[in-house]
Structure 1
């Protein structure tokens, strides 16, 4: 290939590294019409995904003919109905959740991974308490139960009902308020009428994600607050590390995929992407003959 023609490949790589996890800003996707094979109704795909990373999820080898037919019917129904939906920006809401939580989760993980025999365990426990408390702080009902334990503050103490726009708010726990922090307003009757089936799935997905995160942070805060026996510090710190690593593996957010080094100006930080990763390279077919640990972003030079 002529040198000037090869520049096209470099520009393709530059664009792929820039928009790998977000759509281009001038595009607006119709999330209220979204259809997905991750919908729980497609039962034939569940066993093939259980316990596996997303890069190991192969649709074509496991989906049943019945599920393909159901999917096509759903797609046809969505296109024909063309419902307006709520006009809620689902992408922005999802990215807001990631932006709020990703660095906090990674910070705790980095702290716990670095613990060794010379670490000040009292400082580690105090830091975990502070880092887990900060994102939960907006949801804690102060003054509702004086001298409550850390566990009670998050999981048991309920807020007093209030009248908001003529409606009495439920007396919820901090965990519940955290879980529904991104979607609670969608319970308004006028919005419920407008919500499409796709939006109900998106709402449930966000609440499922936040329930897991809020619960894990609640446990870290409760245990680090209520822990008084310093002899138990190593056991709890090890359990917290396992909990956070399990959470990160479950979420698999792309925001944690980053180059360890700062890339030079003639380079971009890029994931191994098709067809570069699996054509004449060391990666093989993901989930089959490849080392999945190799599928990490690296600095790639944009030179001929």
Structure 2
């Protein structure tokens, strides 16, 4: 497997892979609403500041006394806002690498001692972005936020409301809760954020995948390849990148941010990636649950490959058990492996470097899926479990058990390699009074200042820093109604 196929036709869940490895140019379209909880009264921020894409998020920063209430600003984007998106939980102020890519853009090196120095970070990022016309930087905190460089250039005030004070206790709620209103707010904030976990994700920020810069691009960033040897995906970091690779990344970003739009191919890469996931994700998941029924699995394999099963590739019915290999199925594999990419590959030199990287990722992803699925289908044909091609004699039970064992191993390894976010879900599904929650910074994460602090016990909502759960979060059903908890 190639390092630069880590995305494998899927954009990672920000909470699931906190340490991001991708930077993507984007645009916030005209008419988009952005929100800001004011700390200083009804005054439009004149300095650099943050806005959220959900009012549920920004309302937590709307502070004021019970007597005077608080001020909540809604902004309307008046002309397309040029932004740069850092993937992962890129607003998480923890020292394990969530801000590596921002460090490289702002300072051309890692500054772990500045992990909480947000004022300097936004100042230097905006200073860097001036030369490219970048007006904001998108990150994931509890939900998506935008670091705004100039509140007057691309937005206007839609409303500035004096709201009832939320009366939230500063900092995160504790177990057991000290204030039910505070706990309720945090749970509803988690629910608001959870709506962006699955496709189509956050649609109010339009990413330009033709300008994507990936730190898994081995041609662009070769120095990180040896640093990942033997490490799980969770433990990959950008820290350790060479100075030469930093220069290449910055040059690639500059090219992506300054090229005219007419130089792009016009390919909708988000849809290309999604079509692959939609075609295979649920079917592979279903096969994984049906290994006790060989004919049912074979039917699903046949369905997946039906658009590629050229008639000339089928072996004669009388020779199914006589064939020693599955070479007869090679044409089926070739059609399957190239179906999503052949027309794009024909663009050749018109593709941008980022697009060629995406094309390679889709090619290698579909090739591996089709290799495994075609192998399984052909083995089913040879064993005699295909309901459309029954053998003259029923296959022996031992042969079927061996086949099912091979299938199970094939699908398990394939799904592990793909590691798609479509399979990150609560099992069994949550009840209507619950939500499926993936632990997310800052609520309950380790740290030495609010809102990090939280008591933990065996039934806690919060990630356990001693087991590394914050780095390997797993979805869990939690109640949205009192009493809160599991």
Contact 1:128–1:220 (8 Å) recurs in 2: no
Question: Mapping of 1:92-107 within 5 angstroms?
Answer: 92-107=271-286
Report the secondary structure of 2:225's partner residue: helix
Counterpart residue number, 1:275: 442
Contact 2:314 2:329 (8 Å CA) reproduced: no
Shift of 1:15: 2.9
Asked if the contact 2:313–2:329 (Cα under 8 Å) also holds between the matched residues in 1, the reply is no
Contact 1:269 1:298 in 2 (8 A): yes
Deviation at 1:142, TM superposition (A): 1.0
SS in 1 for 2:213: coil
In the TM superposition, what whole-angstrom CA distance separates every residue of 1:175-201 from its partner, at most 9, and x where no partner exists? 12211211221233xx33532111111
Aligned residue among 341, 344, 352 for 1:183: 341
Q: Is structure 2 residue 460 aligned with structure 1 residue 302?
A: no
- Pick one of 245, 251, 264 that aligns with 1:85: 264
Correspondence 1:242 to 2:419: no
Structure 2 residue aligned with 1:162:
none
1:252-301 superposed Cα distances (whole Å, 9 cap, x missing partner): 1111111123434343212122223633456345xx84259973211233
Task: Tell me by how many angstroms 1:103 deviates.
Answer: 1.0
* Residue 66 (structure 1) aligned to one of 226, 244, 255: 244
Residues 101, 50 of structure 1: alpha-carbon distance in 2 compared, 3 angstrom cutoff: farther
Structure (1 or 2) with the greater helix fraction: 1
What is the deviation of 1:80? 2.4
- Normalised by the length of structure 1, the TM-score is 0.78
Distance 2:379 2:280 in 1: 20
Instruction: Tell me how far apart the structure 1 counterparts of residues 371 and 417 of structure 2 sit (CA, whole Å).
Output: 14
What is residue 79 of structure 2 aligned with on the other side?
Answer: none
Pairwise CA RMSD of aligned residues? 2.9
CA gap of 1:261–1:235, structure 2 versus 1, over 3 A, is closer
**How many Å separate the matches in 2 of 1:131 and 1:144?**
19
| Paired position in structure 1 for 2:356 | 200
Aligned equivalents of 2:367 and 2:406: distance in 1? 19
1:128–1:224 contact (8 Å) kept in structure 2: no
Equivalent residue, structure 2, for 1:46:
225
The corresponding residue for 2:29 is none
Q: Could you say which residue in structure 2 is the equivalent of 1:212?
A: 368
Residue in structure 1 matched with residue 306 of structure 2 by the alignment: 137
Structure 2 matches for 1:227-266, cutoff 5 A?
A: 227=383, 228=395, 230-266=397-433
Q: Give how far 1:67 is off.
A: 2.4
Q: If each structure's strand is expressed as a fraction of its own residues, which one has the higher value?
A: 2
Deviation at 1:144, TM superposition (A): 5.7
Residues 5-48 of structure 1 deviation map (CA, whole Å, 9 limit, x = unaligned): 66553343123211124432233210011111111222332344
1:244/1:48 Cα in 2 relative to 1: closer, same or farther (>3 Å)? farther
Contact 1:108 1:128 in 2 (8 A): yes
> Structure 1 residues 177-186 or 18-27, which shifts more?
18-27
**Whole-Å separation in 1 of the counterparts to 2:276 and 2:437:** 23
Distance 1:258 1:278, change over 3 A: same
CA shift in 2, pair 1:144/1:226, >3 Å: closer
Aligned length: 272
Per mean C-alpha deviation after superposition, the further-off stretch among 253-262 and 131-140 is: 253-262
Aligned pair 1:18/2:174, yes or no?
A: no
Q: Secondary structure at the match of 1:182?
A: coil
CA 144–257 in structure 1, closer or farther in 2 if over 3 Å, else same: closer
Q: 1:85 to 1:8 in 2, by over 3 A?
A: farther
Structure 2: give runs of 5+ residues left out of the alignment: 1-167, 170-179, 384-394, 447-453, 457-461
CA distance in 1, matches of 2:433, 2:314: 58
Residues 140-186 of structure 1 deviation map (CA, whole Å, 9 limit, x = unaligned)? 1114666175924421xxxxxxxxxxxxxxxxx22122112112212
The correspondence of residues 284-299 of structure 1 with structure 2, limited to 5 A, is 284=464, 289-290=467-468, 295-299=473-477
Aligned partner of 2:296 in structure 1 is: 127
* Higher RCO (CA < 8 A, seq sep 6+): 1
3-state SS in 2 of match to 1:265: coil
- Counterpart secondary structure, 1:111: coil
Of 243-252 and 125-134, more deviation after overlay is shown by 125-134
